[in-house]
Structure 1
């Protein structure tokens, strides 16, 4: 398959400068048709070229050669694979075997630390081979491959035995001998097409070793580098950070929100109110253009309107949820996406577990014109914020079009690292707290951590507690 759907830790992907410290680990797997790799073949076969009506008719008559290298859109395949290897998103085509045609819809992929590119021609193109960190060829007996192909094509693709045999003798076997088998010389490892558990274990061990060698302790590094020194007021002013004016009204609201005895009803009311203030402040940093309107009195008035092609919100689940209502009140029609960035229970390192983004971000040609309100309750170590921003950049969103909206930031947290890595990201917050300390909470059952096993946390003081829990529970 083209992309493994697994957890990604921030420490495996990016450095404190905001740039990837290593590419995704890419494995190329080749071999004959039905050689024992077909259970992961669907994604790679999506790159069959688009066919006209005449070619579709030939395909239904078993007279279309799908086993020749020219049948695969190698440039598109290489481009998509290069994007994934560089930790960027991509959209791959979807191919229908029953219709013998590439469909209009595409499959969105992002966030793989390990990528498996598999197919009969996976090792044929030198541009593809250059992208692989490990090249594997699956060797299988020809009789077994034919038996498997007959069983698969008859059962899963509605073909007749006669049609399968005709296609095999006309196209599949010659292509294997001329194009597929010769690529085995490029493989780092050749594994049998059956009874290959030992080979699979060797490959898995190699991959685990590679990933362990890349591991770092990102969140701890961000926290400790900032804990060694607290940002001064003059340094704070140099950051791309905007705080709400500390009016008596705002101080009164924060007093209510910080008070642990505040009822949940009052907490929700004032969080929603504060969220609206923050989004309204964030709106000041969007581009506007003049607009002339006619008033009910018949007069002409010159005003302003948003000068944005696309605008959306992205919430970090679920601490960013309390800010969503404020965004809905100010921009009622803005699409909303979400990211699930969760801390590892033992190490405290951030894990990106879920990505659901609006279309204007998932399609890179739109992402470059998109303004994004990124929502999270607070910035402590900054690791979750770091991963969320990096995710948007991987999709093509411009750094200067990301506006991070939050209730609190920690002066002694990861703010300095975050703003050094992404100096053009605007941060809008309501207040700045001084302290951030590391702690281990036994029997902890906080945001996204249920079961009471405990976890490592960095506590902002005086803070507002676990804002998502207080808002939703």
Structure 2
């Protein structure tokens, strides 16, 4: 799920062409409060994204209904309204010419790349990233670019319920029923500006020839597959019912992930009687005076040792062969967990000056304390799965306490196709009795390079404050876990 801040607004592309402008508003990213865990303590996905299919006639109000549902959900995790218009097939020059002359049937099921539509929805439903094609109605052609997505989905389009492969992916199927006269009036208002000739062309060449027959033959029959039929206007009651159902489904998927992590971590540490390191994949730096001055660079240099290398021989000007090693990787990049990964990012750039850097923003929900994924910005080598398979990633964060943020970040990388043994987690500090034990049990192939290991976590209570900074009623807050001893916070430990 993708989100960048806490506001509720829509991202629209700009276009001078009226129809292009309408289509550009179809694929909409709703910014919301973030993406909670979709995985269990073993690191494996435990639930799929919630997918809603919304069908109906042209100009019946499908996009508006989708927007109203998402708005009424309030703080539900980020949702993308995905339009079938993105999946029109690649056209031949002859088909492009027909489209510009309003003689190409965009309302027939054969005009849509149904297998690609279903494949993209299947990836998103499985919580994997997907790259959505971009179609231009100004050029009547699929463009050589894609939109990167990983989120919950609301898919809308006149054929959204037509294909069985699509219907099998939906958790909720909605059909928007609207009077034919109202749909025609909306279509005219949308597509025609001020020319009577254009109005007649719309009626004769487009609406009567393509739109109306497609609705009667292909769209209306799909209403029988819908779980609920929604009016195309005055539909606030139906939208409230749908929103209540979705909110109930989201509540049932809640996992209380952070609390379970801490509980299991303590059990694991109590079962280890000799106080030995968490695992063989945990690399702790020697505690020397150099650590403070060159800590970030030192950690990255140590982490570099765990990248694959191949032998290389260089002949010097004196014709002496010197044998060494060079990196044997196709792509290497860094991903910083904002904001505490910043100092490590600078260390990585000092060691690899041209390395690609991405970022993830993971914060705790103010009410539940659960980690929320609020922002994803990854390098190109991770956004495309065929590249991510061979990529190596330095995952950067200041410390691992409960490991809730680390779990979220690692699961996100795995869902993008990164191999588990290609992730090297670099951190200043970990807590032995924190979540690192469960983290390594869930992801045993990931290496962790750290500057130090503290012994434990201390439970504390974080009070909640209102907008004026005043404390709320007694007991109104949430439990947090702090690395012990008191000097455990990374800034206090190394930079006071």
**TM-score normalised over the length of structure 2:** 0.84
Secondary structure, in 3 states, of the residue corresponding to 1:190? Answer: strand
- Corresponding residue for residue 192 of structure 1: 231
Q: Tell me if 1:238 matches 2:259.
A: no
RMSD over equivalenced CA pairs, Å: 2.7
Secondary structure of 1:351's aligned partner: strand
Counterpart-to-counterpart distance in 1, 2:268 and 2:468: 34
2:258 to 219, 225, 239: 219
Cα distance, 1:54–1:346 mapped onto 2, change above 3 Å: same
1:146–1:413 CA distance, 2 compared to 1 (3 A):
same
**1:51 aligned partner:** 91
Alpha-carbon distance between aligned partners in 1 of 2:185 and 2:327, rounded to the nearest angstrom: 63
Structure-2 residue corresponding to 1:32:
57
What is the CA-CA distance between 1:240 and the residue it aligns to? 1.8
What SS is found at the alignment partner of 2:162?
A: coil
Question: 1:3, 1:115 within 8 Å by CA — same for their partners in 2?
Answer: no
In the alignment, structure 1 residue 283 sits paired with structure 2 residue 304? yes
TM-aligned CA distance change 1:468 to 1:369, over 3 Å: farther
- CA distance in 2: counterparts of 1:80 and 1:444, whole angstroms: 42
State yes or no: 1:462 paired with 2:488.
no
Residue 175 of structure 1 deviates from its aligned partner by 0.6
The equivalent position to 1:327 in structure 2, one of 345, 348, 353, is 348
Distance 1:102 1:229, change over 3 A: closer
Q: CA deviation at 1:293?
A: 1.8
Give the TM-score normalised by structure 1: 0.88
Checking the alignment, whether the CA contact within 8 Å between 2:82 and 2:153 is kept in structure 1 is no
* Alpha-carbon distance in structure 2 between the residues aligned to 1:450 and 1:291: 63
| Deviation by residue 1:453-472 (Cα, 9 ceiling, x = unmatched) | 77643110126565479999
Cα 1:208–1:38 shift into 2, 3 Å = closer
- Determine the C-alpha separation between the residues in 1 that align with 2:274 and 2:342: 30
Residues 346 and 456, structure 1, Cα contact 8 Å, conserved in 2: no
Per-residue CA deviations over 1:63-119 (Å, capped at 9, x if unaligned) read 000000000000000000000000000000011112111111100001x2x310110
1:370 aligns with 2:370: no
Specify every segment of 5 or more residues in structure 1 that has no aligned partner in the other structure, as ranges: 254-269
2:429–2:490 contact (8 Å) kept in structure 1: no
Partner of 2:169: 131
The verdict on how the C-alpha distance between 1:390 and 1:215 changes in structure 2, with shifts beyond 3 A counting, is same
- Which residue is equivalent to 1:91? 131
Comparing 160-169 with 114-123, greater Cα deviation is found at 160-169
1:303-341 Cα offsets, whole Å, 9 max, x none, are 211000000000000011111111011111110000000
Q: Give the match for residue 163 of structure 1.
A: 201
Q: 1:436 to 1:42 in 2, by over 3 A?
A: closer
Whole-angstrom CA distance in 2 between matches of 1:277 and 1:288: 19
The answer to whether structure 1 residue 341 and structure 2 residue 380 are counterparts is no
Distance 1:42 1:433, change over 3 A: closer
2:43 matches 1:18: yes
Q: Deviation per CA, 1:199-226, whole angstroms, max 9, x where unpaired? A: 0111000000000011121001101222
Distance 1:183 1:3 in 2: 27
| Post-superposition offset of 1:31 | 0.2
Give 1:44 shift: 2.4
TM-aligned CA deviation for residue 245 of structure 1: 2.4
What corresponds to 1:149 in structure 2?
187
Whole-Å separation in 1 of the counterparts to 2:411 and 2:487: 26
Is the Cα–Cα contact under 8 Å of residues 2 and 115 in structure 1 kept in the other structure?
no
For the residues of structure 2 that align with 1:276 and 1:374, how far apart are their CA atoms?
14
Alpha-carbon distance between aligned partners in 2 of 1:106 and 1:244, rounded to the nearest angstrom: 43
Asked whether the 8 Å contact 2:335–2:357 carries over to 1, the reply is yes
Gaps of 5+ in 2: 1-26, 67-80, 472-476
Moved more, 32-41 or 274-283: 32-41
Question: Contact 2:84–2:112 at 8 Å: present in 1 too?
Answer: no
The verdict on how the C-alpha distance between 1:443 and 1:181 changes in structure 2, with shifts beyond 3 A counting, is closer
- Residue 202 of structure 1 corresponds to 241
> Contact (CA 8 Å) 2:82, 2:155: kept in 1 or not?
no
Mapping for residues 70-89 of structure 1, pairs under 5 Å: 70-89=110-129
Count, aligned residues: 446
Whether the 8 Å CA contact 2:454–2:488 is kept in 1: the answer is no
What secondary structure, in the 3-state scheme, does the structure 1 residue paired with 2:277 have? helix
String of CA shifts for 1:114-170, please: whole Å, max 9, x gaps: 3101100000000100000100000000011011111111259xx922332121111
- 1:263 is aligned to none
* Structure 1 residue 43 displacement after superposition: 3.1
- SS of alignment partner, residue 160 of structure 1: helix
Counterpart of 1:441? 462
1:368/1:21 Cα in 2 relative to 1: closer, same or farther (>3 Å)? same
Aligned with 1:117 (options 152, 155, 160): 155
Shift of 1:228: 3.9
Q: Is the 8 A contact 2:336 2:359 kept in 1?
A: yes
